[in-house]
Amino acid sequence: MGQTAHVSADVWTSVVTVVSALSLAAWLWLLLARGFFWRTDVRLPAREEPDVWPAVCVVVPARDEAAVLPASLPSLLAQDYPGRAEVFLIDDGSTDGTGELACELARRHEGLPLTVASPGEPPAGWTGKLWAVRHGIGLARAREPEYLLLTDADIAHAPDSLRALVSAAGAGGFDVVSQMARLRVESLWERLVVPAFVYFFAQLYPFRWIGGGRAGSAGKKGTRTAAAAGGCVLLRTKAAERARIPDAIRHAVIDDVALARAVKGAGGRVWLGLADWVDSVRPYPRLHDLWRMVSRSAYAQLRHNPLVLAGTVAGLALVYLVPPGAVLFGLAAGQGTVALLGGAAWLVMAGSYLPMLGYYGQPWWAAPLLPFTAFLYLLMTVDSAVQHYRGRGAAWKGRTYARPDAVPEEG
């Protein structure tokens, strides 16, 4: 009996050692071979102002956004743009006076002309946001703009934001220039969860592979990686027509990534990087708020595939949970090799997280907490799948989408 127990312990220790080594190997690969996703130096490409500034129409889909509009809409109206520009706010069935407030803000703040319109309820097969975007693009088409700026109602722009986006697009020959807005990090949960959200996104879609780099290089040649950040997307109108935006992605819950894929699939060039002066003003004071933000679309990201979900859970566990677990097991069982492997993986993980923490102005000592945050994201992803199979599916502003082709339901 004692010999059997000893053999079992040896087998268990061997398994833990192998798994710990795999976790360390995974981190070394992520660090060196995943497009240096952890770096935060992919910023807006070098600006080269054109001789003639092209016309731009700004499309803002808005549903029940009265709480954030006073902090965001005036920044759009106040854009210092030398060319012709106009803002279209599409009130998507708001019940909080979003449209009326937008008109009042336009009367109070001088600047770009504002048109407020409503598209009515979306038909089957359309998400509410993309139906609003379609209506806005339709109105903008009469102005014959060269570019469309698609921006969310909670995004505040620096006065030269539009100028910088257009300059970068023209200089780099990009059909999409997108900046990931700096999300708010004020509450305890925002500080813990938000930097990791952007870090995980960059891990999934390395900016350099999309078309990043310090000087706006084309990115990794031959890569099919494409993504955008929905809060700030400058889109060339001709590229939108070639890619049939938004009709081609009308059912997409993760519409920003779908837009970038459609444009890149139609031969367009896409750039995505971190923003310096584009900020989200939407608060997420509680864990519940952040949980809803992530879980509403997490399973859609996995294409509603249970096998992909299982692989994702296993991958998250191997990469983020095994290192601290190996350290604890190694110390408790007196297995120095296991503890050393786990500690090395944990150290690489924390080190790769430091640049993102710095970008968000967070202290270095938050880096070792990344496994806990990753565990929260694992639970959010599983909850997203549970909600999907319960028929609730993804959600956006009170509408739920149980299937990609589902008719929106009020909720």
Q: Is the pLDDT of residue 91 over 90?
A: yes
Q: Is the pLDDT of residue 130 over 80?
A: yes
| pLDDT band per the 50, 70, 90 thresholds, residue 10 | confident
Long-range pairs of 332-335 with CB within 8 A, sequence gap ≥ 24: 333/13, 335/13, 335/16, 335/17
Q: Is the pLDDT of residue 411 over 80?
A: no
Tens-digit pLDDT profile for residues 329-359: 999 999 999 999 999 999 999 999 999 999 9
| pLDDT band per the 50, 70, 90 thresholds, residue 230 | confident
Tell me the average pLDDT across 376-395.
86
d(CA 77, CA 346) in angstroms, rounded, equals: 46
Q: Please, what is the average pLDDT of the chain? A: 91
The model's pTM is 0.92
d(CA 34, CA 201) in angstroms, rounded, equals: 12
Residue 207: partners with Cβ closer than 8 Å, 6 or more residues away? 35, 37, 42, 219, 272, 273, 274
Tens-digit pLDDT profile for residues 36-72: 999 999 999 777 889 999 999 999 999 999 999 999 9
d(CA 372, CA 378) in angstroms, rounded, equals: 10
Tell me the average pLDDT across 226-248.
97
CA angle, 167 as apex, 161 and 173 as ends, to 5°? 130
